[in-house]
């Protein structure tokens, strides 16, 4: 079991498959991109499957989320999903993606055992999409969402970040569109995980801002803490339901006390918090011949030292040295 000194138990494993991405979102990385990890530094498919197996069969993990970077850029993704879905007990398996390429792969991923997807979409306007991502791929994302829905990867969730002066006026339109298409929309506060370290607390759109904007068109009824559990999103019924909308307020309404996540980077480092500045190296253990029991012990030790909270409210808070694309979402 992956337990920490505050009694939290990690059962949800986020696995970053690559640090590469085919978009250049302004809140994530500079236009010219980043220095990508060298291929020898990345975990191999066999190494990923071995670590997932240890997590599921020995450490009590029951949910796997593949992330990036952009995980659809990882060769062999379908096989990875299939191999992890074959584990017993079988974990729930999901994918966080920007949706580019999902139209081609959604059916194969569903057949391999993928249960659902989260797709990033910040705007309904192609011109704003290009400004935010520096790419003309808006229709590709819409096609990917439709393909995921058709493949039964439900509920199809949409992750949206609102940025001042770009898409901060779109919250009601996005929610209306998502409800019409049978998607579940979740707004995410911009977090201090950009490669440029340009995030500013006083420049972000907060959960309160988002809810005020949605309230101009919809009646929102809180679902309540019992329904939320350890999920990062607070959820509201929209106009009495059954449609829902979520808000992940990592900055202004932190939920660290219920956190059940452990994170594996694309180069084999364990992170016990998205905002941690320390990592524990499992890749070195794998490649030096460590046994499953030794790897499990290192993983337990890494999680035991998890801090009480992210520290975002501490004036001394420092951003992680590695950006979101390197550590996984």
Binding site for S-adenosyl-L-methionine, residues?
27, 69, 120, 191
Sequence-distant (≥ 6) Cβ neighbours of residue 173 within 8 angstroms: 124
292/180 Cα distance (integer angstroms): 47
Where is the binding site, in residues? 14, 21, 25, 27-28, 65, 69, 96, 120, 157, 191, 256, 259, 261-263, 273
Angle subtended by helix axes 138-150 and 102-112, to nearest 10:
30
163/140 Cα distance (integer angstroms): 21
| Range 218-240 burial, b when 16+ CB lie within 10 A, else e | bebeebeeeebeebbbbbbbbee
Where is the binding site for [4Fe-4S] cluster, in residues? 21, 25, 28, 256, 259, 273
Instruction: Give the per-residue SS3 of 144-193.
Output: HHHHHHHCCCCCCEEEECCCCCCCCCCHHHHHHHHHHHCCEEEEECCCCC
Where is the binding site for GTP, in residues? 14, 65, 96, 157, 261-263
Strand partners, 13: 64, 262
106/110 Cα distance (integer angstroms): 6
């Amino acid at each position: 079991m992956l337990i920490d000194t505050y009694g939290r138990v990690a059962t949800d494993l986020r696995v970053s498959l690559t640090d590469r991405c085919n978009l250049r979102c302004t809140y994530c990385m500079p236009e010219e991109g980043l220095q990508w990890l060298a291929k020898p530094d990345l975990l191999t498919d066999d190494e990923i499957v071995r670590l997932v197996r240890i997590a599921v069969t020995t450490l009590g993990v029951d949910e796997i989320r593949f992330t990036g970077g952009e995980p659809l850029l990882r060769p062999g993704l379908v096989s990875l999903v299939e191999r992890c879905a074959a584990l017993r007990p079988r974990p729930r398996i999901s994918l966080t993606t920007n949706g580019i390429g999902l139209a081609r792969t959604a059916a194969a991923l569903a057949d391999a055992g993928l249960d659902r997807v989260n797709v990033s979409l910040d705007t309904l306007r192609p011109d704003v999409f290009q400004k935010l991502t520096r790419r003309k791929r808006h229709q590709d994302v819409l096609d990917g969402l439709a393909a995921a829905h058709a493949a039964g990867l439900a509920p199809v969730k949409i992750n949206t970040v609102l940025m001042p002066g770009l898409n901060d006026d779109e919250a009601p339109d996005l929610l209306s569109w998502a409800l019409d298409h049978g998607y579940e929309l979740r707004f995410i506060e911009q977090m201090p995980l950009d490669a440029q370290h340009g995030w500013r607390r006083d420049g972000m759109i907060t959960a309160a801002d988002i809810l005020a904007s949605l309230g101009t068109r919809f009646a929102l009824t809180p679902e309540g803490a019992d329904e939320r559990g350890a999920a990062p999103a607070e959820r509201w019924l929209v106009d009495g339901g059954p449609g829902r909308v979520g808000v992940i307020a990592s900055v202004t309404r932190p939920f660290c006390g219920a956190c059940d996540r452990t994170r594996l980077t694309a180069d084999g480092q364990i992170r016990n918090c998205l905002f941690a500045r320390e990592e524990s190296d499992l890749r070195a253990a794998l490649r030096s011949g460590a046994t499953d029991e030794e790897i499990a012990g290192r993983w337990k030790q890494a999680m035991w030292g998890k801090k009480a909270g992210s520290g975002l409210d501490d004036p001394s808070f420092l951003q992680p040295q590695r950006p979101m694309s390197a550590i996984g979402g």
